[in-house]
Amino acid sequence: MAVGQCDFPTMHPVKGIKLGTCNAGIKQTQRDDILVIAMAEGGSCAAVFTQNAFCAAPVLIAREHLTLEPRWLLVNSGNANAGTGKQGLQDAFASCAALASEVDGIAQQVLPFSTGVIGEPLPVAKLTAALPAAVANLAETHWDRAARAIMTTDTFAKGVSMVVEIGGESVTITGISKGAGMIQPNMATMLGFIATDAVIEQSLLQRCLSVAVEKSFNRISVDGDTSTNDACVLLASGYSDAPEVLADTPEYMAFAEAVSAVCKRLAELIIRDGEGATKLIRIVVEQAQSAAEAVQVAKTIAHSPLVKTAFFASDPNWGRILAAVGRAGVEDMELERVEIYLGTVCIVENGGRSPGYTEQDGQRVMGQEEITVTVRLGRGLVREEVLTCDFSYDYVKINAEYRT
């Protein structure tokens, strides 16, 4: 059950980008599980990938193909093709080759992506047999179908779309993502696909995506687990009438800000759909010496099962938050300078419980669906925010039964 209102929005088509889906029956037959995204010739592509050492076979192939002017993305849900060794690499490339033969391209122009159960062989025969149907229904308007085709334990499809003005002309940025568990990205999200019609060269597009990801997908955590398959892709077709986006210009700043806004919204939707989540928690760390220090403190709180279960129970057990801050590894922290807040309620100051704090005030905040925890370290001027959710009974149930 999602936290808050998460209706699928109106998605603006992106000129030069088409999407097609179908069902291959990889794990289920109730909905589509194959997605093909096609970009017109002449566009550019940027991507970031998981930092998990046991990264999936499609991640390895996609990294290699990214340097070869890719034009097609091939995504399957229901099987991660991770932990599958050399056979997994062969299967991922065979899938690329199969799509290439359908679209009159070459395998190296295809980036493969998979999500689902780890350790099972990819059913290549099922996937390739379904590709003609996916290619046949390629259309610029199929963003809603695409968002559903990449889902696994997600309870709703996740999408964001916006139109911004650059140089007096409209530029569209539209994206989808999937993810609900195994979320603690060290690069992006479980899977995210964003497209724009902006005119921008590849290295600048890559810079834009990397910066956006760092402040969005790298600032969320459901359970502290980094997936083997995380990937986020930004395609730019170049079909807009807007002037080319160039580095260090007002146009680049406007474009980069819009891409970041799309990434942040997609990241937030993942947390709102965290497996078994009943609450969205914003952890804000202020007055840190560096961004790394602030994120370190925030993620220590976000990853604490004791903190997360207290939020599920609406229990203002603030000592758990205090303990997480204390073990975050901040060197030479002056405890008397640290302040901790639940919403606007100060719970810790001057090294202990705030004199004005009452259990009733804490309970009032903890009963809310969306909660902000603010930690002021009293060490500097840096502020960072991390989004997380609570741990409920359903999280355990969902993951205990994931393969059944």
Q: Which two tokens stand for residue 335?
A: 């405890």
Coil, helix or strand for 143? helix
Contact 79, 122 (CB under 8 A): yes
Burial of 35-46, coded b for 16+ CB within 10 Å and e otherwise, reads: bbbbbeeebbbb
Q: How is 277-326 classified by DSSP, letter by letter?
A: ---EEEEEEEEESSHHHHHHHHHHHHT-HHHHHHHHTT---THHHHHHHH
Coil, helix or strand for 150? coil
Coil, helix or strand for 208? helix
Cβ burial of 34 (10 Å; 0-12, 13-18, 19+) is buried
Compute the distance between CA of residue 138 and CA of residue 242 in angstroms, rounded to an integer.
25
Compute the distance between CA of residue 34 and CA of residue 371 in angstroms, rounded to an integer.
37
Compute the distance between CA of residue 269 and CA of residue 387 in angstroms, rounded to an integer.
10
Compute the distance between CA of residue 384 and CA of residue 394 in angstroms, rounded to an integer.
29
Contact 293, 378 (CB under 8 A): no
Q: Which residues are catalytic?
A: 189
